[in-house]
Every structure is written in structure tokens, then in C-alpha cells.
Structure 1
Amino acid sequence: MSPLLGAEQAVLGAVLLDPGQLSHLDWLAPDHFYRPVHQALFAALRKLRSDSHPAVGADGPVPLSWVTDAVKEAGLHVRGLTPVYPHVLIQACPRPEHAPVYGRMVLEGAIHRTVAQHAIRLHQVARADALQGEVDGALRSADVLTGVLTDLARRWGTEPRPVAPTSAPANGPAVPPPIQADQVAEDERFLLAVLTEQPGAMEQVVAWLRPGDFADPAHGQLYRCLGALHHRGEPIDRITLLWEAQRRGLLADGTLSGKQVTAICDGVGAGSAEWLGDRVMRSSLTRTAAASARAVRALAEDEALVPGRLINYALHALGPLDEVRARWETANGNPAPKPPASAPVPPPARVHVALARSTPRPVPPSSDHPSSAPTPSASRPPSRGHS
């Protein structure tokens, strides 16, 4: 049995044994459970509580109707639930008073699944946009993912902030071949030719186009050479470009050859550097969105990452996309979109229960201060009492 499945069974078993534990699990929602039968049972138990079931708040043993009514209510929404299964859940619960801890485990699993699902969605939309030459879908999906990460961070009780992982994953996801690689490469070669042959063309793109936006690294290095010539105020043509590539060692290390540079510069007709740069940026944006989505998904599938680190690492993985997007907005003269509104932040008390963190044990009084005593805040919450 996986730890997550055990936690789901344990939290349900705790509530079946002690309906009062629901008051410590207000922050836990039915969709946080992975198995549909567990979602239906938890929703049924919450409904019975809201309907003032006699078992809630009753003194003495829990009546059997609490279990049978929960099974009956859950059976209206899911198939395959038998009257025997609640007893399996009860046996799976070591101690009912540990329900907040079990619930935290369920919430952790839900956070990993939610982040992975939205990352997959972003990757799918980015690749679809790349096929159609669009970017709007990828940008919307990125906004949704950022909003989800922000909301999850606040519900978990941490501040959402990008943090770089201490070490890169041992085995990163394989990078698929570029979509429409031939068309993208043709656009990049055409743009480089226009920038080389048309005086002043660099002024149209230099403010927002970067070497990293080119899918072909050799094209990116050639654009870097053009940018260096432009920055120094030197004339730009096929000869000065070839000379700059040689000075940077690109011909010696095999990154470029004289024939490649000549082929790019020959046979160019009229063209708009701004329009071609826009096409290169579109490709760069969708390519970066897909790469960021793959990185976020790899983080979400790492079960060793606690939610706080997962969220902050994922926000960092979206950083390259944010940078490309900012330049995209500059190129198109559009203001940056407002971040999506997040859901209301739970009260601090609920966040504390959701985390179910252990409060430090009281420090024994020192011999030098015999009158010292632990403060009331140092005692453990009643929901996590131990015998």
C-alpha cells in the first residue's frame, strides 16, 4: 500500500470513529482525495455533519447510523462502495486524534497532482499553439498555472516566491524535437539575412529579440554577432558579420562555417525584420512554455519534495517563460496582464491545522531558574494529543 492511500484511508477511518475530527479538517476538501470512493465518502461525512446528524456532538459511543448513513449518501454518487469498506477504513486508522496529520498527507498528495495536471495542460497547449503559430493559449495556461501555484502556497501557509533548486534533477525529461523545425529554421535564416542586408533593420528588433530566442544555436550566435556590431556602431554587411564571427571563435570551434554565413546572406529579397522577428518570438515563447511545463511536471512527480519547495521551485521554473513573455509584450506594445485573483486565504488557525506541524516540546526548567515554566503556547494542540 502506498503512503498516500494509507493516509486517505486513515483520515476517513478517523472521522468514522470520531465525527468530531471533522472540526479539525475544515481545510480538507473532497477533491483532495485521489480515489473517487474516498472523495464521495468524505463529501458524505461533511454533508451529514452540516445536516446535524445525531452522531455529531453526541456523548458516548458513536452510533452505527453514522457509518451506515455515510455509506448510503456516498453510494448515491459513486459505484462499488460496499458496507464492508468503512470497516476496512476504520482498521486502517492507527489513532483517530491524528486525523489532522493524515489530512496533511492527503493535502500534500493533492498539491503534487494538481501541479502536475496543470503542467501537462500547459505543455499540451504550448505545442498546439506552436503548430498554429499562436501564443495566446500558452499564455493563458501559464497564467492559470501561476495562479494555482500562488493559491496553493497560501493555502499551505507559505509565501509564494521563486526559489532555484539546490541541485538539478538527476534525470530530466527528454526534450522532444522542435515542432515545424524546418519552418522555424527558415524564418530564422530569413531574418538574419534581412538584418545583414538592410541598413537600420537591427533597430526594429534589438530592443526585444535575444540570441536565446533562436531555436538553432548557430543562428543565435550569428544574431549575437549582429548585435555586437550594432552596439559598437560598426557597419553591418556579410563581410563584417563573417569577420565578427571569426573574432569570436565561432569559425574555429565549428559552430559556424564561412559557407553557412554566405548561404544565409545570399539571395535575400525584401522583408520586414519586425515581422520576421515576431515569428521568431512566437516560436521562442511556445518553445519556452513547453520547456517550463516539462520542468514543472518533473518537479511535481518528485515525491520527495515537500509542497512548499515544490511550489517555489515550480515558480522558478516558470521564470524563463515570464522573461520571454515580458519581451513579447514589449514587442507588441501590450501592457502586461494582471495576475489572476487567487482564492480567499484560509484563516491562520486553519493553515496551522492543515500543516499539522508539531509544536516544540516545553523546555525543562534550568537549575539556575527554578521558577521558569513553559508558556501556554508551548503546549500541543488538543487535536494532536498523545497518551
Structure 2
Amino acid sequence: MNPLHNAEQAVLGSVLLDPEQLAHLTWLAPGHFDRPVHQALFAALRKLPDDGHHATTAETPVPLSWVTDAVDAAGLHVRGLTAVYAHTLVSACPHAAHAPVYGRMVLEGAIHRSITGHAIRLHQAARADALRGGVEGALHCADVLSGVLSDLAQRWGSEPRPVEPPPATAPVTAALAPLPVEAGQAVEDERFLLAVLTERQKAMDEVVDWLRPGDFSDPALGQLYRCLAALHHRGEPIDRITLLWEAQRRGLLSAGTLSGDQLTAICDGVGSGSAEWLGEQVLRSSVTRTAAASANAIRDLAENDALAPGHLISHALHALGPLTEVRTRWRAAQGHNAPQQPSSVPPPEAVPTGRVRAALARSASQHIPPEGDTPSRPSPHRLRAPGSQLTPQFPAAAPPSRT
């Protein structure tokens, strides 16, 4: 027994029984139905009144032609639809007046399917980007998914704002492990970057503003980068000895996170390299891993049928938060400015002219000319605010003392 399938049949059956129910289903689209035959039939039922079908204006009971004409119109787009199935839909509707409730169930199923499909596309784009060494596909799919979530929130009537899911419904996701297609190269880039940061003076200045320990696929290497960042923040010298000491102070050696031999192996044999370029490779891998993790989390949420659409949309927006954060740092690494948020301040032309002049008259400061110069006469709009009868007086500033 499929509740969603029953709800789709009930919606169509209610409209076949009572065409006036279409007026209460203007927000429901044919694409919200799961089965193609239901999509075609609902599209035909919505089109018949626009074509002036007499069933929508007749005061007598609904004529049989309303059913047969809808079946014939829908049969032009799908195969196998007969009048027998139309009567099955009618018998599947308990009450025609409950059509809006049935339609809401159909929309709820459409929201879950739509979010699931976009999450799958986001994960596929992240894997493709990891293969070709880019991030554009994943970031584009993330933008599309964010727009879809906002549109679905508007259709459902909820506010599109990120909300962290409670532990009971939070998806169980693994740590940001490397994608299989990039695992080996990602760890190699991370080791080489740490070696360059340790051996080359001032190399941390090239990456410290936008690279974070969480961007490393190997947690142990991320902890080493944290040690380097701490030394850089305190202004202490950085070399393999100070790095080993900092790792010991942070308990990495005693906890078994890494050993002194492993640290020495990372720092040995380093040649020339660009810390900025290597850091960008590490951050690029972090973008694709984060996109894949967000996609998996959103898909797990969308496949939970017990989750209400409003909560699903809010939790999905929250799952996109880590990707938005690492994307901002990626743009900073590429030298792009972060996108400006729309300002809530109205444009200058929208502010009344009188208010602007009054504000200028109250806030404009007087110019104190040097000694020996003749002060120029201030303009009238600085002497008198609109509607005022007195000239505002400002205390004269004391002339600067000469040495």
C-alpha cells in the first residue's frame, strides 16, 4: 500500500467527480504527480475548463463527457489510459470536497522527490569535479538546489531558513573522507603543502587567511596544519623542530595521532613549491568533499518520509551551510570578492528630498580655515534646514597650536 499513490488517485477522482474542485487546486501542477499517467490526466483536467468545456458551467450533474473528454485528451500523451481507469480513480476518492487535502499530500511527495533528485545531481557533479580537478559543476548544482529549496518553501508556505535537525532525525554521515577518485592525490598534495610550509619562511602568509585544518582529508595532517597556524599566529619561528614541539604540546604524539618519524618523513625531501598553489589544490578537494557530504546528508533527509516538508527544507538549507562556508574561502583564494548582500537601505532617490536636506543641515561640520585666510561664506542649505527659522550655531573649534 502506497499512501502517495492513493493520494494522487484521490485528487484526480475528486476533480472527475466535481470539476469545481480545480479552483481549490490552482497551486498544484501536473509535474507534482509521480506517475506520468496522473500527470497527463491532471493536465487535461486543467485544460478542459480553459477550452470552455460545458461541464464546468452546467448546473446539472457532471456529464459523462467530462470524464471521457479528459481521458481522450490525456491519451494523446500517454499510453494505456482508458475510461475504466478513470472510474477506478473516482472510486478511490472518499470525499470530493477533501481535494485540497489530497493535493497537499501530492505536493508533499513532490517536495521529497525533487530534493532527492537535486541532491543526487549535486553528488554526481562533485564526483565529476573531483575527476577533472574543478569545482564549477558542484557549485552550480548547489546554487540550483538552493534556489529549488527557496521555491519549494514558497509553494509550501514556510520560511526558507536553515535549521539544524534534531539528533533524532539528523542523518548519520561519515567524516569528510576523500572521494574515491581523488583520495591518493589529495593526501599527496597535503603532505607536500605541509613540507613547504615548514621549510619555507613566510609561506604561511600565502594560505593562512583562507585555508583551515578541516580542509585536509587526513585528520592527522589537518592537526599538523593547526600547529603551523598556531606558531604563525604567535609569531614564533617555524621549522621541523618547533613543529614537532608544538605537536607534542597539543598531545598529538601521546595520543597516537602521529609519530615523530611520520612528521620527519613529511618534512624530508622537500623541494621548491608554491604554498599558494598547493593550498588551492587542498581547498579545491575540500570543496568537492563538502559538496558530496552535503548531498548525502540532504538525500538522507529527503528519503525520510516522516519528515514534514517545512522541516525538510529548513534542514536541507542547514546541510548546505558547510558548502557555503568553504565556497566563500575558495573565492577568497581565487581573488574574487564575496557576493554582496542586497542592502536594506533604500536608494537615495527613494528618500524624500526635504529629509536629506535637513539631515545635511544637522550633520555637516564647519570647515576651520587656516589663520590668515578669509573663510568662504557657507552655502544657504548649510545655514538653514528646511522649515527652520533659526540658523543652527556650532561651537568654534580652537585653532591648532603651533610648535
Give the Cα separation in 2 of the matches to 1:323 and 1:141.
16
- Summarize the alignment of residues 110-259 of structure 1 with structure 2, pairs less than 5 Å apart: 110-167=110-167, 169=169, 172=172, 178=179, 179-259=181-261
Give the Cα separation in 1 of the matches to 2:269 and 2:178.
29
Rate the CA distance shift 1:224–1:173 in 2: closer, same or farther, 3 A: closer
- Alpha-carbon distance, 1:60 to partner: 1.9
Q: When the two structures are superposed, what TM-score results if normalisation uses the length of structure 1?
A: 0.86
Instruction: Give the structure 1 partner of residue 355 of structure 2.
Output: none
**Is the CA contact 1:191–1:276 (under 8 Å) kept in the aligned structure 2?**
yes
- Alpha-carbon distance, 1:173 to partner: 5.6
- Alpha-carbon distance, 1:82 to partner: 1.6
**Is the CA contact 1:20–1:57 (under 8 Å) kept in the aligned structure 2?**
no
Matched AA of 1:248 = R
Structure 1 runs (4+) deviating above 6 angstroms are: none
RMSD value, Cα:
1.4
Structure 1 residue runs of 5 or longer lacking an equivalent are 340-387
- Alpha-carbon distance, 1:58 to partner: 1.5
Which secondary structure state, in structure 1, belongs to the residue aligned with residue 230 of structure 2?
Answer: helix
Instruction: Give the structure 2 partner of residue 78 of structure 1.
Output: 78
Provide Cα deviations, 1:275-309, integer angstroms capped at 9, x if missing partner: 00000000000000000000000000000011100
Residue 67 of structure 2 corresponds to residue 63 of structure 1: no
Instruction: Give the structure 1 partner of residue 48 of structure 2.
Output: 48
Provide Cα deviations, 1:298-341, integer angstroms capped at 9, x if missing partner: 000000011100000000000000000011111112134589xx
Provide Cα deviations, 1:81-140, integer angstroms capped at 9, x if missing partner: 121001000000000000000000000000000000000000000011011110000000
Which secondary structure state, in structure 1, belongs to the residue aligned with residue 56 of structure 2?
Answer: coil
Instruction: Give the structure 1 partner of residue 9 of structure 2.
Output: 9
Instruction: Give the structure 1 partner of residue 310 of structure 2.
Output: 308
Instruction: Give the structure 1 partner of residue 34 of structure 2.
Output: 34
Q: Which has the higher contact order (CA 8 A, sep 6+)?
A: 1
- Alpha-carbon distance, 1:166 to partner: 1.2
Give the Cα separation in 2 of the matches to 1:274 and 1:31.
47
Matched AA of 2:305 = E
**Is the CA contact 2:123–2:292 (under 8 Å) kept in the aligned structure 1?**
yes
Provide Cα deviations, 1:158-195, integer angstroms capped at 9, x if missing partner: 11000000115477367776332111111000000000
Residue 85 of structure 2 corresponds to residue 90 of structure 1: no
Instruction: Give the structure 2 partner of residue 377 of structure 1.
Output: none
Instruction: Give the structure 1 partner of residue 381 of structure 2.
Output: none
The one of 315, 320, 323 aligned to 2:322: 320
Rg larger for: 2
Which secondary structure state, in structure 1, belongs to the residue aligned with residue 109 of structure 2?
Answer: helix
Between the aligned residues of both structures, percent identity stands at 73
Structure 2 residue runs of 5 or longer lacking an equivalent are 342-403
Greater Cα offset, 102-111 or 327-336 = 327-336
- Alpha-carbon distance, 1:52 to partner: 1.3
- Alpha-carbon distance, 1:141 to partner: 0.4
Give the Cα separation in 2 of the matches to 1:85 and 1:249.
70
Instruction: Give the structure 1 partner of residue 368 of structure 2.
Output: none
